[in-house]
Amino acid sequence: MSTRSEDFAGLNVATITPFKDGKIDFDALQRHVEFQIEAGTTGLCPVGTTGESPTLSHPDHERVIAAVVEAAAGRIKVMAGTGSNSTEEAVHLTQWAAKAGADAALVVAPYYNKPTQEGMFQHYRIVAQSVDIPICVYNIPGRTGKNIEPETIIRMAEVPNITMVKEATGSMDQASQILSATDLTVLSGDDSLTLPLMSMGARGVVSVVGNIVPKDMIALVAAFDAGDVVEARRWHHKLFPLCRDMLGLATNPIPIKAAMKILGRDTGELRMPLTPLSADEEARLRATLANYGLL
């Protein structure tokens, strides 16, 4: 099956932004990029939801994108988060990412101001036409307060460089409508829905748990692509408790950063107003990691 951005099919990791004493830890970020390259990850998505984009300043945003592009050095795709609820800001960030060398832009739906569907379409059209790189429409109404309706996304597919959708609505019907009407590359925006969405034609995932178990997520996607549904299902059931707790214990990225701290891979620092897990929540997370075999 051929979709518009097959080069992003597979595992794309929504990377954390490491902090140390309140500042971005660029050494840790570079180590994380190398970890993902070694695992065989398709692409990295810095400064998205998992990368704490709401609390990064614009200069921070740009520095993280530049650092990931530099560390990647063409060895792995970079789909930089460049969305905003201001079309002007989204254009600026997307143009900056393109100039910095990002391979694509992950553009979240405008949040809080809740534009009409026409406003959604025009926002993405203007952003897409301001650059030459592919645009991934990130639809996550649980965060933004407004769904981009499937009819609107189907209309967006008329814009040549709108090539991907990060599908995080949780609606199988919405995903089915987009997949049946377009050749957009649909990527799951929820780890636990990767296999169900791939069964309908999605081509991979933008993953949170991929920060810690990229090879396992790659194995799930590869098994399904190879036609081994039994093996893909086995990976789905193994990964499910981990996926559930990374998004269910507390708001993302609180649990994934806690997990990386427990595993010795990050300080676990967050930027306010995000706060760490409680002692009880951390104990539950440790049990999940131990049951998975990570501890």
**Residues 191, 174, 179: CA angle, nearest 5 degrees:** 85
Tokens standing for residue 216: 């396992």
Q: Which residues are catalytic?
A: 138, 166
Secondary structure letter of residue 89 according to DSSP: H
CB 83 within 8 A of CB 115: no
DSSP character string of 91-151 = HHHHHHHHHHT-SEEEEEPP-SS---HHHHHHHHHHHHHT-SS-EEEEE-HHHHSS---HH
Secondary structure letter of residue 19 according to DSSP: E
What per-residue string of b and e applies to 143-163 under the rule 16 or more CB within 10 Å gives b? bbebbbebebbebbbebebbb
Q: Looking at this protein, which amino acid is placed at residue 272?
A: M
Q: How many Cα atoms sit within 13 Å of 8 on the Cβ side?
A: 33
